[in-house]
Amino acid sequence: MTPDDGPAPDQPAPDEASGRADVLTLAGPRDLLAALPYRLGFHPRRSLVLLELAPADPSRPGRHRLGVCVRGDLPATAEAVEAVAAAVAAPWERGTAGGPVVLVAYDDAEPDDPEPDDPEPDDPGPVDAAERPGPGPVLAPLVGALVARVEDRLRLAGSVVHDVVAVGPRRWRSLRCADPACCPPGGGAVAELATGAVAAEAVLRGLSAAPSREELAAAAAPPAPERSRRARRALLQASAAPWSPGRRRASLLLWAATRERYEGEHRGTRAGTLPAPESCGRLLAALADPAVRDAVLLDAVPGAAAGAAAAALLAGAGASPHLARALATAPDPRRAEAGARLALDLARHGDGEAAAGALAVAAWTWWSVGDGVRAAACAARALEGDGRQGLALLVTRALQQGLPPAWLQAGAGRPPVRGPRADEEGSRV
């Protein structure tokens, strides 16, 4: 079962207050719900999202950062409940996540209406775990059954559910929190989430969220025929030329300069004016070279270690002692976002293996900053074009197994809520 495809999950990413300018502070369910679309990359519908509350700082009890984030489609039948529950709970059952969990259920029914707009085909029966004690909202039967099974699995894995939040088309409500200052008994208006301080800060930082998962995937329309023709002619010419350390360095410089323009002009959130078609063709050819591609994967990592590791790769020296230090360093989220969007635009100018290589770079880059939704989508598209694409396979396995990037395993500080979300290959990086 692959992440974000059918009743399957996606994976990791935001943070808590620390005085850092790149950290977005979230206080309570309202802020969490406002930030989630930017974390996922789209506004979810009929989804169950699991968010891990990981310890932020041992010296600051009560503070958390958002850890693993998994999304699955709501089940259409009672028979599908167990499969969805198993998919979304997998990171906790495998031990790659362990903190308390917030469950967010997005449904087409309002959270205080037990009857959905479209009747469920089966009624799995009462679900005590999905109800607030006393009078209060009840989830639709299949959603409640799913929440109960997920909670059972998390409990057996040694984790607890911190809160369950139900989100309908117009209103949201916490099903566990009884503090009216935090979670009003009548819930809150969904429309207000997009106009509050968290959403405003996300937009100010250049983050974006597509209206739906389908529209998130639709941004891959091919360019005009003439542009495509020029880009593919440049790709063929560049692919036929031999590689040398000097040519590899020039290719990385072209990538970095183009990515800097995306980052500077558009804060990494949209493509705007596309690169020249000839540049697109040359960069597509460069990403097919393992040394250049692996150096590109380090482009979002700040610090001298990443530069030294990339230089060794381009010189043909392979992995260097600097590589481990580079991978233990958190990527710059804006640089990574800009690089991933550049890779997506490059993929639009190619097909088959060339497009798959660029899509795999986007998948890795988003996985590296914890954007599992877009990582999964890009990896899946890459494998559609080339079923043996190594980097896309690597990202896919990492997402399925809930494996975090090396810098998280090394205990590095986590990037902020940054619009973006986890997947895996046979790369040096």
Any idea where the domains of the chain sit in the sequence?
Answer: 29-215, 221-409
Contact status, residue 272 vs residue 265, Cβ threshold 8 Å: yes
With bands split at pLDDT 50, 70 and 90, how would you rate the model's confidence at 429? very low
Q: Smallest Cα–Cα separation from 358: which of 247, 275, 283, 249?
A: 283
| pLDDT at residue number 355 | 94
**Which of the two residues, 7 and 383, has the higher pLDDT score?**
383
Whole-structure pTM value: 0.66
| pLDDT at residue number 372 | 74
Q: Which helix (H) or strand (E) holds 47?
A: strand 47-55
CA distance 380 to 40: 16
With bands split at pLDDT 50, 70 and 90, how would you rate the model's confidence at 14? very low
3-state DSSP assignment of residue 409 = helix
With bands split at pLDDT 50, 70 and 90, how would you rate the model's confidence at 93? confident
| pLDDT at residue number 371 | 75
What is the mean predicted confidence (pLDDT) over 240-269? 86
Q: Worst-scoring range by mean pLDDT, 149-163, 206-220, 230-244?
A: 206-220
Q: Which helix (H) or strand (E) holds 69?
A: strand 64-73
With bands split at pLDDT 50, 70 and 90, how would you rate the model's confidence at 63? low
Structure tokens at 219: 């941004």
Instruction: Tell me what percent of the residues of the chain surpass a pLDDT of 70.
Output: 75
pLDDT tops 90 at residue 289: yes
With bands split at pLDDT 50, 70 and 90, how would you rate the model's confidence at 410? low
CA distance 53 to 8: 21
Q: Worst-scoring range by mean pLDDT, 100-104, 192-196, 200-204, 299-303?
A: 200-204
pLDDT tops 90 at residue 29: no
pLDDT tops 90 at residue 320: no
| pLDDT at residue number 284 | 97
pLDDT tops 90 at residue 227: yes
How confident is the model over 376-409, as pLDDT tens digits? 889 989 999 999 999 999 999 888 777 778 876 6
With bands split at pLDDT 50, 70 and 90, how would you rate the model's confidence at 211? confident
301, 311, 394 from 318: Cα distances, Å = 18, 9, 19
| pLDDT at residue number 6 | 35
What is the mean predicted confidence (pLDDT) over 276-299? 96
Q: What is the mean pLDDT of the chain?
A: 78
- Return the sign of the alpha-carbon dihedral for residues 417, 420, 421, 426: negative
> Phi and psi at residue 71, in whole multiples of 5°?
-125, 140
User: 257 CB contacts (<8 Å, ≥6 apart)?
Assistant: none
With bands split at pLDDT 50, 70 and 90, how would you rate the model's confidence at 210? confident
pLDDT tops 70 at residue 413: no
Contact status, residue 99 vs residue 55, Cβ threshold 8 Å: yes
**Which of the two residues, 258 and 113, has the higher pLDDT score?**
258
With bands split at pLDDT 50, 70 and 90, how would you rate the model's confidence at 209? confident
| pLDDT at residue number 198 | 79
pLDDT tops 60 at residue 427: no
**Which of the two residues, 352 and 38, has the higher pLDDT score?**
352
What is the mean predicted confidence (pLDDT) over 273-277? 88
CA distance 414 to 329: 10
| pLDDT at residue number 66 | 73
pLDDT tops 50 at residue 412: no
How confident is the model over 115-172, as pLDDT tens digits? 444 444 444 443 343 443 333 446 889 999 999 999 999 999 999 898 999 999 999 9
| pLDDT at residue number 418 | 33
